């Protein structure tokens, strides 16, 4: 009688062996020990994770805050190149327009209110020259992309140490799972 297999593929693109799940990238399984770790689920962290996935790697994002605590921050003025880059990462330009504000003209003034200069920000083609969008809104849009591409984003994971001294060919990242209340 054959032994039951401990290998399953419950999710497309994933392989489970003995309780450990591997993502299949480029037809091969990537061990959790060799996965790139991105620290922080802000705009840069999520864009990095999406870019790593597009390169055939299986990143995991560690974020110290809980998902509902990512609402802070100020507005961001995304220039045309950033708008195009976000579109290649999966945030459609129309979605950015709907969730932000297209800026057609940018003016500069002296502290006493005299006009110094104005810049045309109308853009070229379908891409506006500039979109102002709240940071939390942009993070939510990027989290939606990460979720749709099955990128693991782990909330409440505080990175407590990073060590590369014990083995120059490996980096060890230690994180602690934090409760809802984080002492200040």
Confidence at 99, pLDDT banded by 50, 70, 90: very high
Read off the tokens for 137.
């809104």
State residue 163's pLDDT score: 74
Read off the tokens for 117.
């200069």
pLDDT digits (tens, 9 = 90+) for 112-141: 999 999 988 888 888 899 999 999 999 999
Taking a C-beta distance cutoff of 8 angstroms, is the pair 99, 93 a contact? no
State residue 183's pLDDT score: 36
Q: Cα separation of 164 and 172, whole Å?
A: 6
pLDDT digits (tens, 9 = 90+) for 149-162: 999 998 888 887 77
pLDDT digits (tens, 9 = 90+) for 2-29: 434 343 334 445 555 445 555 555 555 5
Read off the tokens for 68.
């509902």
State residue 158's pLDDT score: 83
DSSP labels for the chain? -PPPP-EE--STTEEEETTEEEEEETTEEEPGGG--EEE--SHHHHHHHHHHHHTT---EEE-SS-GGGTT---EEEEEHHHHHHHHHTT--HHHHHHHSEE--EEEEE-TTS-EEEEEE---BTTB-SEEEEEHHHHHHHHHHHHHHTT-EEESSEEEEEEE-SS-TT--EEEEEE--S----
């Amino acid at each position: 009688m054959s032994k039951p297999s401990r290998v399953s593929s419950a999710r497309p693109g994933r392989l489970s062996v003995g309780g450990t799940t591997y993502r299949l990238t480029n037809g091969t399984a990537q061990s959790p020990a060799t996965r790139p770790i991105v620290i922080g689920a802000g705009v840069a962290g999520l864009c990095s994770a999406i870019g790593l996935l597009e390169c055939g790697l299986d990143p995991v994002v560690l974020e110290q805050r809980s998902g509902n605590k990512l609402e802070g921050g100020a507005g961001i003025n995304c220039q045309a190149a950033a708008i195009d880059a976000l579109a290649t990462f999966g945030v459609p330009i129309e979605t950015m327009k709907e969730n932000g504000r297209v800026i057609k003209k940018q003016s500069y003034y002296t502290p006493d209110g005299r006009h110094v200069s104005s810049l045309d920000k109308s853009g070229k083609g379908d891409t506006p020259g500039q979109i102002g969008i709240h940071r939390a809104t942009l993070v939510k849009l990027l989290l939606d992309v990460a979720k749709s591409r099955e990128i693991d984003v782990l909330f409440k994971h505080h990175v407590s140490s990073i060590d590369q001294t014990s083995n120059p060919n490996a980096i060890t990242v230690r994180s602690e799972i934090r409760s809802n209340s984080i002492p200040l």
